Amino acid sequence: MYKTSHQWIAGFFISAISYSCLFYTNAWLTAYMTYGLGVNWIYLPAGLRLFLTLVFGFPAALGIAISSFTISYAGEFSQEAATCIGIGLISGFAPYLARIFVISNVIISPDLSDLSLSKLATCALIYAAFSSGLHQWWFAVRGLDETGTLHHFFVMFLGDVLGAVLLVALIKYSLDLFRSSRST
């Protein structure tokens, strides 16, 4: 997929940096919409994780995983490195697993030019199920207070779906505008 190591490195760094920036922006914008530890009613970085892994694949997953580990370790989850490692891996590789599943079962071109609303919704639902399920399972395994319940799963699922649909639709709309302006 990648012609040079420069493209791989660029995908990694773009993913790590943009995810970190949007994470903190989302935390500021939606501070009043937090349901519990690691659970938001609207989580825009979910859309970015989905978009980045659709575009860059594995380098994006790795960049997001490292970024998420760092954010977790420096933030609310700093009590234990193992917890933060799991959060990082799930944050980066849940969307990558969803990407593999979607590419295998839903036909989407690599440049996302045929990403319709129904395909976007399918991607967002699959990704949100993977991400929410794995995060809440990990929180329960780690014994974190007030996490890992079915209620937390549903709120995280909803927040991920809303964030993914909002952000990916905005990106797709921007790309379509850019393409149409270049063709005129």
Residues 6+ away with beta carbon under 8 Å from 142: 80, 82, 83, 86
Domains of the chain, residue spans: 5-27+40-183
Quick: pLDDT tens for 86-106.
999 999 999 999 888 887 787
Distances (CA, A) of 21 to 1, 13, 14, 138, 149: 27, 12, 11, 24, 29
pTM of the model: 0.86
Per the prediction, the chain carries an average pLDDT of 87
Q: What is the pLDDT of residues 120-171, one digit of tens each?
A: 788 889 999 999 999 999 999 988 877 888 999 999 999 999 988 888 778 7
The pLDDT value given to residue 168: 73
